[in-house]
Chain A
């Protein structure tokens, strides 16, 4: 039973469940910062799913780029908005422990999963057999997909320009 509980499949289902619950809390949330933190939990759970599916490179990118860069961008934007217009301004303050307990449970489940994965030598071996190496991804990326990489670089450049243009502070009274 214990071996069954710590198999790759059951860990995948647990991480998927965490991802779904955290995403539901994001969509139904009222506090922007709480929703952002739930989004981080959801992305980390999906990263564990990637790792269990044999894509450690994608899992690392998910943590570094999604949870590390894009979510920090969100947090910066929320800081610039100010929370004065948030939906929670007129709601009664809820400061009891039950508010934090759900998020802590979700994050703790992910931590337990990581510890179980690291400690289990058999699982490491079976995961290692199904890995698609980052070398194969790199060869694919700069071989058949070279044009797509170039177009992605154009996309990033245009995103940079558009972000700079729209967030410029000096326009007064112009169109949106």
Chain B
């Protein structure tokens, strides 16, 4: 049983998630959107680890491992798409992508 109250862990997690969400919604640079996505995934990890340590179960850390895997795959695909976008449009502005067809 950890000494940190679960409520405070959840407050930290919510704050980080809100910051990441604002970044995803408000930024136009796709690289910054990917970084904000990382912050959001990280915030979810904080919530899982905090809950797992309050109830003394290993499930929270297992879920964190799966989130880690998801983040690695997402970043690999996202950055490869960004490289392709940079080659094609010479810019990382996400508004350019609303002209895609098909």
Residues of A in contact with B (beta carbons under 8 Å apart): 7-9, 12-13, 16, 19-20, 23-24, 26-27, 29, 32, 35-36, 39, 42-43, 46, 49-50, 52-55, 57-58, 61-62, 65-66, 69-70, 73-74, 76-78, 80-81, 85, 87, 126, 130, 132, 136-137, 139-141, 145, 148, 152, 155-156, 158-160, 162-167, 175-176
Contacts and interface: CB of A to CB of B under 8 A. Distances in A.
Given A8-B3, A65-B68, A77 B35 contact: no
Given A23-B39, A35-B32, A74-B35, A130 B76 contact: no
B2 A70 contact: no
B contact patch SS: helix
**What class of interface size applies to chain B in its complex with A?**
35 or more
Nearest to A64: B68
B71 A70 contact: yes
A55 B4 CA distance: 13
Interface of B: 1-4, 8-9, 12, 15-16, 19-20, 22-23, 26-27, 29, 31-32, 34-36, 38-39, 42, 45-46, 49-50, 52-53, 56-62, 64-66, 68-77, 79-86, 88, 90-92, 97, 100, 102
Of B32, B46, B50, B65, the most chain A CB neighbours within 10 A belong to B65
Nearest to A138: B58
A81 B83 contact: yes
A53 B79 contact: no
A43 B19 contact: no
Given A8-B2, A23-B16, 19 more contacts: A7-B3, A9-B3, A27-B36, A46-B42, A53-B2, A53-B9, A53-B53, A58-B65, A74-B75, A80-B83, A130-B2, A130-B3, A139-B58, A148-B62, A159-B73, A167-B80, A175-B102, A176-B81, A176-B85
